[in-house]
A and B are shown apart, each in its own frame.
Chain A
Amino acid sequence: MKHTMKHTMKHIADFLAPPSGRRTVAAAGIGLLAGLALIACVSDEPLRAWLILLSGAMPELRQGADGGWHWQRLVRFGTVLEDTVNLTLLGLAVLIPFRARQFALGADGQLFLGALAGAVVGLAWPGPGWMALPLAAIAALLAGGLLGGATGVLKWRYGANEMVVSLMLNLIAIECYRLAITRWLRDPDAGFPATPFLPPAASFTPWIPDTGVGPMLLAAPLAVLAVALLLGRTTLGYEIRVSGAAPAFALQAGLPVGRATVLSMALGGALAGLAGFHIGHAVLGRLPVDLAPGLGFEGLLVALLARHQPRAILGAAFFYAWLRAGGQAMERGSDVSREIALVVQALVIVLVMAERWPWPRRWLFWRAA
């Protein structure tokens, strides 16, 4: 009897630690249920609030007064799509350095500088209109890439820990952004400190009206494909992966570990810069001085959710954006604040990152070794 119990428990344990996909979905489910429990502690109508959380982002098809079918809440869903693009790019920005075993936390600063660089080109480009957008995008890629590369060089040449350096560069980059907007790029007609609106040549026409969802939507799957190809099928990707998996071996085998480290962070930075470009040119149309930092960390969350696999980033980003919009809807429609979505996400990550689940008899950690 005891043996069968042990056997069943082992099966359950094995189920909880199976191939990644199944486990992440299970973890997401458990996380959401834990969210329900947490909501129940603070709300008078937990179930209703929880359901809004889950479904709030969904657009609805309703029959209007004129008898025709209309999409409702499309703008909110548009926000979900915009966020998905941002989070995909930012998640990839964290993922590439991570595969080289670098914990780069600089996506925020790279995003800000990329947005700034893109806006400068968009506002100041005197030449043919059709070149404005591609050049702005390239400027954003370069700005983010240089910042990321700087972190990499400091790590490679001087051994400076990349976690702290990238966080410090974040602060510096964000101050540069604020300085540039308040001093040199300020729109005198705007009611709050911000750049002027970007000219139409440097803007995207939205596919969903009143949202920022447009051609840049394609950037997300294309970026995922590009990164997957980079890591899996190119020599640089090979160098990055081997440097991350076994650094001593890579060095001894003559792989250019330093170069791979720097390039991994530069490429990540470039993608974060592109996210900044997306925000400036597609989503907001102008850059406010008080653009909130923190999006980079949400990209980090997405990368952790996706267990650093490019294929899973898109799904993880969408899941995150969905929950965030749902959280906002929940906050408006009930008495629960929207940060619960963040808590759920963090819980899911905690569940996902464990490799195995110990059983009660092993929890007696006080025994020797």
Chain B
Amino acid sequence: MTLALVILAVLAVLRAATPILYAALGGLLSELSGKINVALEGLMLVAAFTGVIAAIHPPAGLPPALLPWWGLLAGLAAALLLALLLAVLHLECGADLIVAGIALNLLAAGLTVFLLAELAGDKGSTARFATPALPALHVPGLERWPTLDLLFNGEGGRGHHLLVLGGPLIALLAWLFLAHTRAGAWLRAAGENPAAAHAAGIPVRRMHYLALLGSGLLAGLGGIYLSMGYLTLFQADMTAGRGFLALAAVFVGRRSLAGVCGAALLFGAAGVLATRLGGLALAGALPPQLFAMLPPAITIAVLALPGWRRAHLDKPPRKLA
């Protein structure tokens, strides 16, 4: 019985962590190339929005089964476009990368609400439309082993969402890319020592473009999961800071893939913890706002921890002068 509870909790954490994971992988990619991408929030938002809107306005004659894939493509295209804008603004027009990222976040927020009002007639969400979700993968034939069935097919036996399963897979692919491919080596070299990379003939600017566009693609996947998986609609401000949590995961993970994945899981868990605690019996005595403060407090603690340890555990050497 308790094993089932644990599995359910783990699945909930995975679901919550998935969007953060995708965006964090994107953030890691661009950070390793030497360009920090603070526009993850906006990228997720435009992808989430465009996916749903595209599903509401599909091209004529598209078979219904392909509708979610059409949404996926549209959402990714939108995220790529925004990432391209960021790349061009910084690499060609010389804008400060962080300022540009923040500005594009604001642009994405305004644009999505505006277009939501215009194209869906409602400023809050697309709830009145029935929008599809990407399929879930269901492993058949496990009915005789309830625990395994729970693990692989989740509560209700419907299976896990494609993008949830895709998260660890993409993380694996990212590791392979960075450690074992030439492009990955070039990307890391461009980030660690651009002068050396340039002198070795590596097209450093092209690497920066690839990294920023790639991070847009990955963040886009995270956003699409929000509006076509986690929920099947788009709400204003749907991302609710997940893009910045992903950024925090990149900082906390200290440019290592394992660290970033771990941090993303941690932040997902913090969110799940807050909601679960709020639902417990003792919550009646404590105000709900206290639980809402829990995830941000955990995030701050996690961000400050490495520095705290450095400050209190390493003593600097003494000098007589």
Q: Do chains A and B touch in the complex (CB under 8 A)?
A: yes
A interface vs B, CB < 8 Å? 42, 103, 105, 154, 157-161, 163-165, 167-172, 175-176, 178-179, 182-183, 297, 300-301, 304, 336-337, 339-340, 342-343, 345-347, 349-350, 353-358, 362-363, 365-369
Q: Are B107 and A346 in contact (CB under 8 A)?
A: yes
A369 neighbours in B (Cβ, 8 Å):
198, 202-206
Q: Are B299 and A164 in contact (CB under 8 A)?
A: yes
A366 neighbours in B (Cβ, 8 Å):
206
Residue of A with least CB distance to B307: A158
Quick check: is B91 within 8 A (CB to CB) of the other chain? yes
Q: Are A346 and B106 in contact (CB under 8 A)?
A: yes
Q: Are A346 and B110 in contact (CB under 8 A)?
A: yes
Q: Are A345 and B293 in contact (CB under 8 A)?
A: no
Q: Are A165 and B300 in contact (CB under 8 A)?
A: yes
Which of B2-10, B45-53, B95-103 binds A? B95-103
A362 neighbours in B (Cβ, 8 Å):
92
Quick check: is B183 within 8 A (CB to CB) of the other chain? no
B interface vs A, CB < 8 Å? 38, 85, 88-89, 91-96, 98-100, 102-104, 106-107, 109-111, 113-114, 117-118, 123, 198, 201-206, 209, 241, 244-245, 247-248, 251, 287, 289-290, 292-293, 295-297, 299-300, 303-308, 310-311
Q: Are A342 and B114 in contact (CB under 8 A)?
A: yes
B310 neighbours in A (Cβ, 8 Å):
158-159
Complex CA–CA separation, A355 to B123 (angstroms): 35
CB distance from B316 to the nearest CB of A (A): 14
Q: Which of B104, B114, B297, B303 contacts A340 (CB 8 A)?
A: B114
Q: Are A301 and B209 in contact (CB under 8 A)?
A: no
Q: Are A358 and B198 in contact (CB under 8 A)?
A: no
Residue of A with least CB distance to B86: A350
Residue of A with least CB distance to B99: A353
Question: Interface residues of A: mostly helix, strand, loop or mixed?
Answer: helix
Q: Are A368 and B102 in contact (CB under 8 A)?
A: no
Residue of B with least CB distance to A168: B296
Q: List 25 A-B contacts (CB under 8 A).
A: A103-B98, A157-B308, A158-B310, A159-B304, A159-B307, A160-B303, A161-B303, A167-B244, A168-B296, A168-B300, A170-B296, A182-B287, A300-B106, A304-B99, A304-B103, A336-B118, A339-B117, A345-B106, A346-B111, A350-B85, A350-B100, A350-B103, A353-B96, A353-B99, A365-B209
Complex CA–CA separation, A103 to B251 (angstroms): 15
Q: Are B300 and A358 in contact (CB under 8 A)?
A: no
A340 neighbours in B (Cβ, 8 Å):
114
With A157-B311, A168-B299, A350-B107 in contact, is A42–B118 under 8 Å at CB? yes
Q: Are A301 and B123 in contact (CB under 8 A)?
A: no
A357 neighbours in B (Cβ, 8 Å):
93
Q: Which of B93, B110, B201, B303 contacts A345 (CB 8 A)?
A: B110
Complex CA–CA separation, A362 to B205 (angstroms): 12
A353 neighbours in B (Cβ, 8 Å):
89, 95-96, 99-100, 103
Q: Are A343 and B93 in contact (CB under 8 A)?
A: no
Q: Are A164 and B251 in contact (CB under 8 A)?
A: yes
Complex CA–CA separation, A73 to B308 (angstroms): 56
Residue of A with least CB distance to B300: A168
Complex CA–CA separation, A337 to B120 (angstroms): 12
Q: Are B289 and A164 in contact (CB under 8 A)?
A: no
With A163-B247, A164-B299 in contact, is A339–B114 under 8 Å at CB? yes
B290 neighbours in A (Cβ, 8 Å):
175, 179
Complex CA–CA separation, A346 to B107 (angstroms): 5
A163 neighbours in B (Cβ, 8 Å):
38, 244, 247
CB distance from A165 to the nearest CB of B (A): 6
Complex CA–CA separation, A283 to B206 (angstroms): 51
Q: Are A337 and B304 in contact (CB under 8 A)?
A: no
| Known contacts A158-B307, A171-B292, A346-B111; 20 further A-B pairs (Cβ under 8 A) | A158-B306, A158-B308, A159-B307, A159-B310, A161-B248, A163-B244, A164-B245, A164-B251, A183-B287, A301-B106, A304-B103, A337-B114, A337-B118, A337-B123, A339-B110, A342-B109, A355-B93, A365-B88, A369-B202, A369-B203
